[in-house]
Amino acid sequence: MPITAVLHTHVLVVILFLLLFLSKVVLLFLNKHDTLNKARSSTKVLDMIFGTLVLVTGAYLTFHFNGPLPRWLLVKIVLVLVAIPISIVGIKRHNKVLTAVGVLIFLYVYGVAETKSMKMSPEQTVKATVPNQEQEAQPQKPQTAANPILSQLEGTHLQNTKAIYTQLCATCHGEDGQKGMSGASNLQQSTLSVEDRKAVIANGRGLMPGFGSQLSEQEQEALAQYTTMLKNE
């Protein structure tokens, strides 16, 4: 099963699981205990299915993660494993304190996932990329002008490369490179060199699969060059 399909399934199941959970949280804090008990009874099977799918798809994505797991991701996994039973017990026992703890953990996990930082501070990423931006600022123009493949990215060749990008990359990165779906990097802000981008395209990174077996060397090079042009579109 393609990892992209598993990733989208995971996101969908997580959303459904949280919607069910939050609806019960509202009933609990409104002291609608009878209604809450009926909701728990009618959604018991769904809770089990969604909870199982969250764990199974999450484990699959973790197993297929390219490279060492970053600390923020390990923290996210541990907290999710802690938050699920706490939330279930809190709702079952009508315990507002436990339920509130579960909600707070889920909110923190969401912030960690969005910022890729345990401090929920995306500024760390910006600081880390500033030196690279300064280093690449001056040689950027001559390097671009000297690259024969980039100069060929026009007409039919450009359209073909754009079609490859749309098919393989746009779902997560977006047409302009800024979508950031499921942790995909912002290609307009990326400071990776063309060679580094080509290596990521070929071998994959994180939850992104590698496309080395699907694309020729020239296609990989052209696609890497195309991603550097997104900020100019």
59-95: per-residue pLDDT in tens? 888 888 877 888 888 999 999 999 989 998 999 999 9
pLDDT digits (tens, 9 = 90+) for 152-199: 556 677 888 888 888 888 888 888 888 777 667 888 888 888 898 888
The predicted pLDDT at position 186 comes to 85
pTM: predicted TM-score of the whole model, two decimal places: 0.63
The predicted pLDDT at position 153 comes to 58
Which stretch of 4-8, 147-151, 208-212 has the lowest confidence by average pLDDT?
147-151
CATH superfamily for domain 130-232: Cytochrome c-like domain (1.10.760.10)
Mean pLDDT across the chain, nearest whole number? 81
Q: Which run of H or of E encompasses 49?
A: helix 44-63
Contact yes or no for 28/96 (Cβ under 8 A):
yes
Contact yes or no for 209/4 (Cβ under 8 A):
yes
CA distance 161 to 153: 8
The mean per-residue pLDDT over the stretch 55-60 comes to 89
pLDDT at 8 over 50: yes
The predicted pLDDT at position 148 comes to 52
